[in-house]
Structure 1
Amino acid sequence: MTFPLSYFLFFFSLVLGPIISISSTSWFGAWIGLELNALSFIPLITLSMNPYYSESALKYFLIQALGSAMLIMSSFLFTSLLKLASIMLFLALLLKLGSAPFHFWFPQVMEGLGWPQAFLLMTIQKLAPMILLSYLIASSLVIKMTLLAAIISAMVGALGGLNVTYLRKIIAFSSINHMSWMLAALSIGDSFWLFYFLIYSLIVLSVTTTFHSLQTFTLSDLIQSDYSSPYNAALISMNFLSLAGLPPLTGFIPKWFTIQIMVNLNLFIPLFFLLASALITLYFYLRIIVSFLIMYNPSMSFNIKSKSLTISSPTFTMSLTLNFLGLLLPVYFFIV
């Protein structure tokens, strides 16, 4: 599904919302930007009269409204109870992000979206709340809460993706897991999480572009898609491995930076949970890839229905080059 020309107005306001939130000098202006961003995203979800799209739009609207109510309530408390107001504001932004322990809505909303909308939800919709969270990193209490949220998100994102066959749900739990790394990098400094967010957005763009072109939403759809070329199998495998952060692929670069900085700051306990969750996510990605490659074997594909090639070669080349960027540029090992 692509966006019609008339929907570019909503896309413009979708991008304008985070800009207003980031450049605002008050929490009221930041709230206006978040509302503009959320209300612009809902028409982009409901492009057609589909009950799944409508259900996801309603869930997204209710959650964002709840987060906005918490944000406004916390602003009332800033005059008298500064610590409580900071905690409530922090929790409201976590709810808008879909980070654990307020992750319950994120996989359900993702399950009813198309791949272009899923890409927007995992990238642009997270930008403004993350930058507003960085404004709160001024006290030791908020830093400890951020690291605690990172630990919970890491374990929820890793364990939630096990035994899941829907690709959008797998990518949703993977996004929650990556959110834990971004929260850990956020507690260290702004430049680290921005770099992680940029690399993550590029990898997610590669994954969602591939799946949107193949029109695959479940593992069975992926198995029954076109396997006539080893190039297709290599691309999808590299997408998953890069998203899991396997070295030396591109997804490992921001994790390597974050690991080194956390070791230098003696943050060993959060780092242990992050690395353990990374191993679990790598396990369920490898499970998908192994079954994918087994079914790709011509001797095993007697019951697979062949399809015509639906992805253009430039799209494949761009995605494959992006995931191999870490292999082509190993100089990052010597930067930090």
Structure 2
Amino acid sequence: MIFPFSSFMFMLTLLLGSFLTVSSSSWFGMWIGLEINLLSFIPLILIKMNPLYSETALKYFLIQALGSTFIIMSSCLYLSLSFSISPLIITALLLKLGAAPFHFWFPHIMEGLSWPQAYILLSIQKLAPMYMLSHLHSHYFMIMASAILSALVGALGGLNVLSLRKIMAFSSINHMSWMLIAIFISDFMWLVYFIFYILISLSIVVFFNSFQSYYFSDLLNLSYSNPYFTLLLPLNLLSLGGLPPFTGFIPKWFMIQSMLMNEMIFPLVFLIFSALITLYYYLRILLPFILFLNPVLITNFKPFSLLSPAIISSFLLNIIGILLPIPFLF
């Protein structure tokens, strides 16, 4: 399901809300941007009137409204309890991001969305809260504790899940841990990681949306006679998991080097351990594609007959990491 033309205005205000937060010089302006962003996303969830979308929109509105309430509460406490302002704002932003330990709503909301809506939740909706959180990086303990918990929750939460949307949700929670720690290093570092993450997530969402795959069983019903399926999905998922030498390893490589230079050994152990677990449940998805592959003669191929330009672009995106060392060989 692609958004109809009537939703163009809501998409525009959704982006404008994020840009307003990023470009604002005051916390009040940032909060206004968050509210515009929220009120623009609700109609995009309700483009089809059915009970599932209505329930999802209501849940999302209540969670985001709770986070906004914490931000308003912090402004009310400015004169009497000024020391509590930053912890309240951090709690509100972590809640809006779906980072642990405030992650419980995120997989359930993802389960009730279509793939285009889910991608907006995974990408655009995280930009404004992450930017606001980058101004509060001095509170080391809260953000670092949330990053370690997000790494563990994102890794362990996806082990026994058969819904592809929930797997993407727990994967997002796991990647959130890397971005939270990147905030301590530099704004440039978390922005680079965020850009890589949304591009690789886009390649996977395009694949799942093209074949309308929402559960593990939907992947099993795909045609295994086409070898491109068995190539593209493993490439995308392994890149998202950060397995070298795919593209997804590049931002993690930068992060590992930066964390070692800043002597962040303790959180790095948790992040690498969680990345290995996420690769495990990605590989569980890929095994049927490998086991049920039927060898087909090259003469029987119809090259790219069932693949859209978007899927081909996602393939090229994820092999950048493989091609990157080639210029250094000459």
| TM-score (structure 1 length as normaliser) | 0.92
> Which residue number corresponds to residue 159 of structure 1?
156
- 1:149 maps to what in 2? 146
**Match of 1:35?**
35
Give 5+ residue unaligned stretches, structure 1: 299-308
Q: Counterpart in 1 of 2:311?
A: 316
* CA shift in 2, pair 1:30/1:215, >3 Å: same
C-alpha distance in structure 1 between counterparts of 2:164 and 2:14, whole Å: 25
1:172 to 169, 173, 184: 169
Match of 1:97 in 2: 97
Q: Which residue of 178, 185, 207 corresponds with 1:210? A: 207
2:128 equivalent in structure 1: 128
Cα distance change of structure 1 residues 268 and 331 upon mapping to structure 2, 3 Å threshold:
farther
CA distance in 2, matches of 1:310, 1:86: 55
Task: Output the CA distance in 1 between the equivalents of 2:283 and 2:259.
Answer: 27
1:81-115 deviation line (CA, Å, top 9, x unaligned):
33311000000000001111100000000001000
Distance (whole Å) between structure 2 residues aligned to residue 147 and residue 333 of structure 1: 36
Which residue, out of 325, 329, 334, partners 2:320? 325
Give the structure 1 partner of residue 250 of structure 2: 253
Show CA shifts across 1:21-76 (max 9, x none): 12222222111110110110011111112222111111100000000000100122
1:270 to 267, 285, 299: 267
Following TM superposition, by how much is the alpha carbon of 1:311 offset from its aligned partner in structure 2, in angstroms?
4.8
Match of 2:290 in 1: 293
Asked whether the equivalents of residues 60 and 109 of structure 1 are also in contact (C-alpha less than 8 Å), the reply is: yes
Q: Give SS of 1:79's match.
A: coil
Q: Which runs of 5+ in 2 are unaligned?
A: 296-303
Aligned-pair CA distance for 1:333: 9.9
Relative distance call for 1:261 and 1:332 in structure 2 (3 A) is farther
Instruction: State the match for 1:116 in structure 2.
Output: 116
TM-superposed CA distance for 1:292, in Å, is 2.7
TM-superposition CA deviations, 1:122-155 (whole Å, max 9, x none): 0000000000001112xxx512221111100000
Identity %: 59
1:111–1:169 Cα contact (<8 Å) kept: yes
Report the CA distance between 1:288 and its aligned residue.
1.1
Contact 2:225 2:294 in 1 (8 A): no
8 A contact 2:239–2:318 mirrored in 1:
yes
Q: Number of aligned residue pairs: give it.
A: 322
SS state at 1:78 partner: coil
TM-score normalised by structure 2 residue count? 0.94
**What's the offset of the Cα at 1:79?**
3.1
Does the alignment pair 1:5 with 2:5?
yes
Residue range with higher mean Cα deviation, 153-162 or 313-322: 313-322
1:47 maps onto 2:44 in alignment? no
> Residue in 1 aligned with 2:300?
none
Q: Distance in 1 between matches of 2:190 and 2:15?
A: 20
**How far apart are 1:310 and its partner, in Å?**
9.1
Cα displacement (A) at 1:329: 0.9
Whether the 8 Å contact between 1:21 and 1:30 is mirrored in structure 2 is yes
Residues in 2 aligned to 1:261 and 1:151: alpha-carbon distance in whole angstroms? 17
CA contact (8 A) 2:17 2:35 kept: yes
Contact 2:182 2:255 (C-alpha < 8 Å) held by counterparts: yes
Residue identity in the other structure for 2:60: Y
Distance in 1 between the 2:117 and 2:111 partners? 11
Q: Is the 8 A contact 2:158 2:278 kept in 1?
A: yes
User: CA-atom RMSD, angstroms?
Assistant: 1.9
Structure 2 residue 277 is matched with structure 1 residue 280: yes
Are the structure 2 counterparts of residues 31 and 281 from structure 1 closer, same or farther at C-alpha, using a change threshold of 3 Å? Answer: same
Shift, 1:331, TM fit: 7.4
8 A Cα contact 1:20 1:29, kept in partner: yes
Separation in 1, partners of 2:222, 2:206? 15
